[in-house]
Structure 1
């Protein structure tokens, strides 16, 4: 008889349960995600769950429980992970100036011989001038 815990033991049938206090949901028939993180579907989405005597919430980004103080309002992801996510999404674009339908970077961010133009599909085309002589 093979086991279900992935540990390679023989003859031991391991049952998976939600880690939330007083939750007795058997996760054997649950999705792999819920088994892996030891959380039932209800507590994965719950605004508050009791673990180790602390009021916590399951973070969708970290896939683990955090204390409620690490979340803003009713958000499902902790503040730390959301900050990183938002910083990646909001990278500041390079400053540019338009001149006769050509776009040039400001403050020497690119080669002074670089010229970018927009096509009819708003795709930037990079044209480098030959400066060899």
Structure 2
């Protein structure tokens, strides 16, 4: 099998395509979460603390020259993304059909032989 045809077979597998779609959607979702953090959560919740610290936004807050605000923004974004993914996976798990219970196992070979012996004795 040639290199090109082998690569084509690899690239067209369902798992690779699903992963590519997941990466693209994840990037778009990351932008939504960043907007949520920087445009909604930060102004509503953190604005008083930022004004007291003398920063215009969380990302520009840099006490001692370290961009601590940028780090805090990334941590909040991660927590929001992780929580939403947790909720999605939890919902998908609830939608899955439960696996059927295994059929009850019959008597063991020894039990069957014991029953046959008892019947023969009678």
TM-score of the aligned structures, taking structure 2 as reference length:
0.25
| Larger strand percent | 1
Structure-1-length-normalised TM-score: 0.24
Q: Which has the higher helix share?
A: 2
Question: Whose Rg is larger?
Answer: 2
Q: Which has the higher contact order (CA 8 A, sep 6+)?
A: 2
